[in-house]
Structure 1
């Protein structure tokens, strides 16, 4: 039965993104009858939780709303009888992300938050935590929807489906909506007058564009894209794709495909930043520190413009529109990570994919894309196999499975370098990888080299 007043929980509530989320709820105050919002964090995030939580209270009060804002370190208290749970946490905080980027780069490999070695280690640290959260949800709020923003979003969604045996989960990312807004502007169209058909995996998808008359505008958008040097997402340094390749593909690539299609150029740029201690993670840490200084201002009662530099543009629109569409059965078309159910013919039926979907009261209904072109099919099948192995290793702590995932990843060369980077990162992240304790002990003893 549809509830009259909603309890919404955000795990990772001390995140710098939270004001954007609160802004999104305020914008939808007539669609979502919110009673209480619980912001949850851990002891290490207590100070940030209080700073951002107080800003959230000021924003809600300034909007003239009677919503209760609760701040807590007690996850179970927050989850009891929740209707929607969003997750936006980072195990190991930004210092862990810095290691994810700098350690691979020190060996001449791409260092990136959700791709390559760094992305796999983010999954290793995060999967056990999300499964613990799901365990609590099944006990305390079994009917709630889990809206996951925690990266790597697609792998986290699949872990919940496959190992958490929890169906009411949707993975979200702001990259598709960035593409939609950017490309609509390129061809001078209103996004509402276009249909963007996305298919693939989180941070590894392609899409086609159509107008209301059913005309395929993909080729036009491709041409316009190559006449623009404007980056689509702020957190990825823009390097133009090869026009001939993209034309042949007949689909628009995700910004993150730069790491695969232009690997040497992207690595060169990253190594320059690494040498200057200016990796993306190190920049984000500085931006976040500045944001929290702004958030402390008792006169600040709205989301500051500087938050857009953090890389989360349209974050609230994605999260809040999803929640509203489920609650109100709006049937909005959104790009989400959800169970494939045959939408992508080239991937397993039960795996998580990121695909355009109709959002109903019973969750996302993926729109069938069919078969991908050969070039996309080959790459996405390798990436899905890598994701499956990464999730399995995160759950089991099996060193051989982790090594298998490393060797399969297109951004990690095979051979001894894969093993060396894997070992170094296991030791570096030891505190947050209890499932790998046996392997880490062997590495530290010199038994695994």
Structure 2
């Protein structure tokens, strides 16, 4: 984002001048997160979650690299090497709990970041590419998390891998060969562990690369804001540093307090106790469930219990993947010219209904596959697809939004005569 009033980096120190001439990294940092990057002055704390997601990614990479030094991806010793990390490696218990709980907090932050995008219309033009790259990041995170869940080689790891990879077997013609190719055999074993470990180690760096593209795309049109009104003049913005570095710092402090509470006082609260039992292909757990952050999509998968043209399992697989892939088309499904739900009263009602529906899917994904949970899963799944494919397009066409402020300055400080005069002149022209 380039504004004529933005500060420009001019190094004063001779060494920094030389570095900036040869490798303009200081200039890049200054323009990306420093006083050279103006941002809307009305961003609230819901805009902290992007920075928190970046922090979680770094945390997962650092702890993951250290854990990989002590882990053995072999079905005979994988569970034992995990216990070795917990009991014998210096601070190994803390690193593992940081990594395991870090994954949960990473997804918590990602979900809040996505839901904020739904509410404030962050997917609308000219920011479609930012949104599309964000969905790619979420899909990569899901793949990485699933492979990481298999590595401890506990009961839930083994049976989770068997169930999820077994879903590919429902695809006609190519399903069974694809499943064997993914596992390197007919069931999760050494080949699957080696593949999942390699990809689990590699994908976070791929995610980091896509995050760089995501931030790059963000800096072209600039950040959106709670009003959805574009930046018009200098008074609409403030420098990212020190205003939002301080605000993000406060948010990070709150996040770290909650994170440390889980790591040090209830480290297993977000995990499953069966994963502390070594994998046994001959003993099926009473309830096979993924990690909690997969629950909504697992509930959608299990909602299909009938065969109609295709098998129920294949319908479930298609619905589960479609539930996320549908987000790619959201910029074109929502045709309202107004971004923020703060000025869209009808859309705001359905947004909160969607949040209740998502909460239900989170609960139902961890429940037993029996009545009445299956029926509720079917109802919640039906509404989920109805919201994106029917309600959002119709509401965007018939809704009468509230009047928008003339500028961000008016939304923050009250009447903005300069912006109103400019808008009047532009309308007459």
Q: TM-score per shorter chain, which class?
A: under 0.3
> Higher helix share goes to which structure?
2
Output the TM-score relative to the length of structure 1: 0.24
Output the TM-score relative to the length of structure 2: 0.24
**Higher CA-based Rg:** 2
> Higher strand share goes to which structure?
1
